[in-house]
Structure 1
């Protein structure tokens, strides 16, 4: 049995490793969440896109993380307008509902 030699390289925290894996899984250019984020930023624009970002999609439901409870409250009033703008920027996929939740951007 061989003895393992230690490396002088620092250890990488598991959280960083998982972030990289999740980002790779979400970077599908054919309609993945990274594509939806780009469309969101383009169609919705600042300051909303700086404080709210698509996080997941399930069927025709888009889950959007927001930065604070104030933004959550405001975006609920703008939901129909945001949904129309976002769908106008999509080529084929359509979102039927947006749900806002406080979470990491």
Structure 2
């Protein structure tokens, strides 16, 4: 294990600070919200109005009841796609509203 005086990669130092000061959840939430349009693609992202994270749940506001109903059936797949894109378990569930 390197001593504290050894040079460390900047990414490792920043990751340590994020974890140490408790910002990991906020950063993960911001990454998930920003990832939604990429993961959803232009067709699905085009029928959504808002996306936000709260307590591990990704909330997606959908413009029409028909789209919301259709997307609701695929919640587990959306959660898996989001976490695959983010590289770790960030989204516990996806809720379409």
TM-score > 0.5, shorter chain as reference? yes
Count of aligned positions? 72
**Distance verdict in 2 for CA 1:32–1:77, change over 3 Å:** closer
**TM-score for the superposition, normalised by structure 2:** 0.61
Structure with greater helix percent: 2
Once residues 85 and 54 of structure 1 are traced to their aligned partners in structure 2, the CA distance between those partners, rounded to angstroms, is 18
CA RMSD of aligned residues (A): 2.2
Once residues 61 and 77 of structure 2 are traced to their aligned partners in structure 1, the CA distance between those partners, rounded to angstroms, is 17
**Distance verdict in 2 for CA 1:54–1:97, change over 3 Å:** farther
**Distance verdict in 2 for CA 1:90–1:30, change over 3 Å:** same
Determine which of 62, 67, 88 is the counterpart of 1:71: 67
- Could you tell me which runs of 5 or more consecutive residues in structure 1 were left unpaired when the two chains were aligned: 1-28
Once residues 51 and 33 of structure 2 are traced to their aligned partners in structure 1, the CA distance between those partners, rounded to angstroms, is 8
Structure-to-structure mapping, 1:59-98, within 5 angstroms: 59-92=55-88, 94-98=90-94
**TM-score for the superposition, normalised by structure 1:** 0.57
Once residues 96 and 79 of structure 2 are traced to their aligned partners in structure 1, the CA distance between those partners, rounded to angstroms, is 12
